[in-house]
Structure 1
Amino acid sequence: MEFGREGMDTMEFLDFTDAGAVVEYERFIQDSKGSFMQSVLWCAVKPDWLHEAVISRDSAGKIAGSMLVLIKRFPPPMKSFLYSPRGPVWDYRNMDVLWDLLRGVWQLSRNYHAYALKADPLIEETDSDRIFALRSAGFTYQPFQEDAQVIQSRNNYLLELRGRNEEELMASFKSKCRYNIKLAQRKGVTCRSYGKERLPEFERLMLETGKRDGFHVRTQEYFARMLDGLGEHCRLYLCDYQGQALSGAVCVQYGGRTCYVYGASTAVHREVMPNYLMQWEMIRWALQSGCEIYDFQGVPCWYDRDNPNYGVYRFKTGFNGRLAVYAGEFRMVFSKRYKSAFDKVLGCLGYQKLM
């Protein structure tokens, strides 16, 4: 299969050792409102993966599209697996750019003996134009994928910030939400951002939350890599009350969007509502930084009131945002022979442990 524009070599791979090239790449991702998972900085958080970045340039030599690709190598006879988290980043109206990027992906599949690629671009399921473009380029796509079957959550909750100040946002929250934020403040709960020195407390909160709610918990070392690797883009927030950390979060700000990536809390002193104050302080950071979106991230099973996770959705709706359902995963298979074997690996390890 041939990719790219006839007579033009517009595809290249990012040289991660070239500081100027990396700066140019980062500027493109941020200006394009791309995800922090398409940033070069994300590679430091995933040391068990190799990484490459495919770039397509326009006729003026400017970056027109990009695709950060993580490479997972498995022991023989298994082949490698390619994953582009929240990629590619490109103008969907320019198919030539997409062809360029995929020409690079096919070259990576040969270089790393890859079995398949998964990509989950930051597009909503109603975005038929972008979905059509990706399918036209050779991706296979199955709509209405369940969250348990994909790597990144399809169901997110977003708060639009553009053109709004703190007073307007607070007034837009549901009355119970406003009351709980002010209650936490009156009771003396404090919420601030901290460095790695308080990660042990956050890990204890995560372990308690994971046990209570039944989900896989990242290690303290993982969160340390996030803080180190993402630098100024990443913050650890903790809510304290009477000398005890009641709740915490790891929050990432990139490309005009602030994301509540990981959160945890103890069952002790829930009556002082620390989680509401914590969200408000992270929203304030987003506003102060000029972000357009605050992303509460996943709201699993928002459609099922009887599901134990429905409470997550109910809590986030107090901030009066909107539900965003993303398209999900797009796949490209390079070696059908290994499909069943790789699917079994994913089934045994689970997506979260693999990623």
Structure 2
Amino acid sequence: MSFRIEAITREEHLAFITAMPSASHMQVPSWGDVKPDWRAESLGWFDGNDRLAGVGLVLFRPLPRLKRYLAYLPEGPVIDWDAPELPRWLEPMLTYLKAQGAFSVRMGPPVVARRWNAEAVKAAIADPRARRLRDAEATAQEPRAFDIADQLRRMGWQQTEPGGEDGFAAGQPRYVCQVPFAGRSLEDIERGLNQQWRRNIKKAEKAGVKVVLGSYDDLPVFHDLYVETAQRDGFIPRPPAYFQRMWTALTAEDPRRMRLYLAHHEGEVLAAATMLTVGEHAWYSYGASTSRKREVQPNNAVQWRMMSDAHELGASIYDFRGITDTLEESNHLLGLLRFKVGAGGQAVEYLGEWDFPLNKLLHKALGLYMSRR
């Protein structure tokens, strides 16, 4: 028997998420408030007993001059992905979204396919035969993930390919770095740091770097550093209003949802970062730093404070978010991979994002438009 899908209230949506060990921060109701260019709706999956069995935050992006929408469920929906028959869950969702005017649906199943521990990643980087992470033997595989991928293909879903040579997907990253916290003391986690990380944390302490919690009023300081980081690393920064909106929306839903950390040294803020938390999952969200006084290692100090706080909050995973899957020395993102894995992190591959074209002509037109941007 298939599920019945209908719109639910934010309160019902949040209560379902809160009762779970974790879910993506992009699947909480408040995330829709962070994205004002999209229309957000909370969906509920109801079983034959009218019990709420799953939820999803869907974002609708309109096509110019047409009442047709791209429906996007980032890192969702929050359903039982281990269920033996996924069509029972997903076919009613497609029917519902088509009735709402969607011409295409994109989702990101929160399903892990493979993992590489820190030692395996280090060996892969040193191996001249391994050009990408997927060329190296994984230390753990999830057979169920490949069965889910097969079911999705049979249903007509199309897997999006990582864009560009950096290995990031067109939407959310397919490859991330996560430090497992479950069942480990903070001392265990500290021992998992590599020698460079431990040395840099001690350097920061000896130099007098102080990491403090910031507030909404500190967002301009963070943003100044973030713009400097964007100029240095060659990406387009988000405007200040984005982070103000994120802070207001997420902390209104849960005061612990978003935190801002600032690394001070001799009256100057040298680095800053944001951390998001949903249940037992904590994410390093955005980071920023100046090129000045890098020798006092403010970035390591900020990360260690966030990891320590995440552990105190009961996190089972500290998530560094996206990493490149390219292992070639010429790739400018390889240093970031080394930094994250040096914290004892595992490289984790998710199933990636999947599209279902409800209207193939409009879906193809959107693909051509996005490829030319």
The verdict on how the C-alpha distance between 1:300 and 1:78 changes in structure 2, with shifts beyond 3 A counting, is farther
Report the counterpart of residue 35 of structure 1 in structure 2. 24
Query: 2: CA distance between counterparts of 1:133 and 1:97?
Result: 7
The alpha-carbon deviation at position 143 of structure 1 amounts to: 6.1
Q: AA paired with 2:112?
A: E
Report the counterpart of residue 342 of structure 1 in structure 2. 366
Query: 2: CA distance between counterparts of 1:94 and 1:162?
Result: 25
The verdict on how the C-alpha distance between 1:109 and 1:95 changes in structure 2, with shifts beyond 3 A counting, is farther
For residues 258-269 of structure 1, what are the structure 2 equivalents within 5 Å?
A: 258-269=282-293
Report the counterpart of residue 203 of structure 1 in structure 2. 223
The answer to whether structure 1 residue 91 and structure 2 residue 80 are counterparts is yes
Which residue of the other structure, out of 263, 269, 294, is the alignment partner of 1:245? 269
Which residue of the other structure, out of 132, 136, 140, is the alignment partner of 2:158? 140
For residues 60-79 of structure 1, what are the structure 2 equivalents within 5 Å?
A: 60-77=49-66, 79=68
Report the counterpart of residue 307 of structure 1 in structure 2. 331
For residues 274-313 of structure 1, what are the structure 2 equivalents within 5 Å?
A: 274-313=298-337
Residues 160, 355 of structure 2: 8 Å contact kept: no
Residues 176, 322 of structure 2: 8 Å contact kept: yes
The verdict on how the C-alpha distance between 1:93 and 1:26 changes in structure 2, with shifts beyond 3 A counting, is closer
SS at match of 1:54: strand
The alpha-carbon deviation at position 133 of structure 1 amounts to: 3.4
Report the counterpart of residue 352 of structure 1 in structure 2. none
The alpha-carbon deviation at position 35 of structure 1 amounts to: 0.4
Query: 2: CA distance between counterparts of 1:114 and 1:62?
Result: 26
Query: 1: CA distance between counterparts of 2:362 and 2:47?
Result: 36
**RMSD (CA atoms):** 2.1
Residues 260, 273 of structure 2: 8 Å contact kept: yes
Q: AA paired with 2:109?
A: P
Query: 1: CA distance between counterparts of 2:94 and 2:37?
Result: 20
SS at match of 1:152: coil
In structure 1, stretches of 5+ residues that fail to align are: 350-355
For residues 320-331 of structure 1, what are the structure 2 equivalents within 5 Å?
A: 320-331=344-355
The answer to whether structure 1 residue 102 and structure 2 residue 91 are counterparts is yes
The alpha-carbon deviation at position 170 of structure 1 amounts to: 1.0
The alpha-carbon deviation at position 297 of structure 1 amounts to: 0.9
Report the counterpart of residue 140 of structure 2 in structure 1. none
SS at match of 1:125: strand
Query: 2: CA distance between counterparts of 1:23 and 1:244?
Result: 39
Aligned length: 337
The answer to whether structure 1 residue 254 and structure 2 residue 278 are counterparts is yes
Residues 4, 92 of structure 2: 8 Å contact kept: no
Report the counterpart of residue 26 of structure 1 in structure 2. 17
Query: 1: CA distance between counterparts of 2:68 and 2:49?
Result: 38
The answer to whether structure 1 residue 14 and structure 2 residue 5 are counterparts is no
The verdict on how the C-alpha distance between 1:68 and 1:137 changes in structure 2, with shifts beyond 3 A counting, is farther
The alpha-carbon deviation at position 222 of structure 1 amounts to: 0.7
The alpha-carbon deviation at position 121 of structure 1 amounts to: 1.8
Instruction: Point out 4+ residue stretches in structure 1 off by more than 4 angstroms.
Output: 95-98, 142-146
Report the counterpart of residue 353 of structure 1 in structure 2. none
The verdict on how the C-alpha distance between 1:280 and 1:348 changes in structure 2, with shifts beyond 3 A counting, is same
Query: 2: CA distance between counterparts of 1:241 and 1:314?
Result: 25
Report the counterpart of residue 131 of structure 1 in structure 2. 149
The verdict on how the C-alpha distance between 1:95 and 1:69 changes in structure 2, with shifts beyond 3 A counting, is farther
Query: 2: CA distance between counterparts of 1:189 and 1:71?
Result: 44
SS at match of 1:245: strand
Residues 103, 362 of structure 2: 8 Å contact kept: yes
Report the counterpart of residue 107 of structure 2 in structure 1. 119
Q: Deviations over 1:319-355 (max 9, x none)?
A: 1211012221111001112133212332344xxxxxx
Residues 248, 264 of structure 1: 8 Å contact kept: yes
SS at match of 1:320: coil
The verdict on how the C-alpha distance between 1:62 and 1:96 changes in structure 2, with shifts beyond 3 A counting, is farther
The alpha-carbon deviation at position 98 of structure 1 amounts to: 4.9
Residues 90, 97 of structure 1: 8 Å contact kept: no
SS at match of 1:297: strand
Q: Percent identity?
A: 30
Query: 2: CA distance between counterparts of 1:117 and 1:102?
Result: 12
Q: Deviations over 1:62-94 (max 9, x none)?
A: 332222210011321473111100012222343
SS at match of 2:310: helix
Which residue of the other structure, out of 32, 35, 47, is the alignment partner of 1:58? 47
Residues 95, 133 of structure 1: 8 Å contact kept: no
Query: 2: CA distance between counterparts of 1:171 and 1:338?
Result: 53
Query: 2: CA distance between counterparts of 1:315 and 1:51?
Result: 35
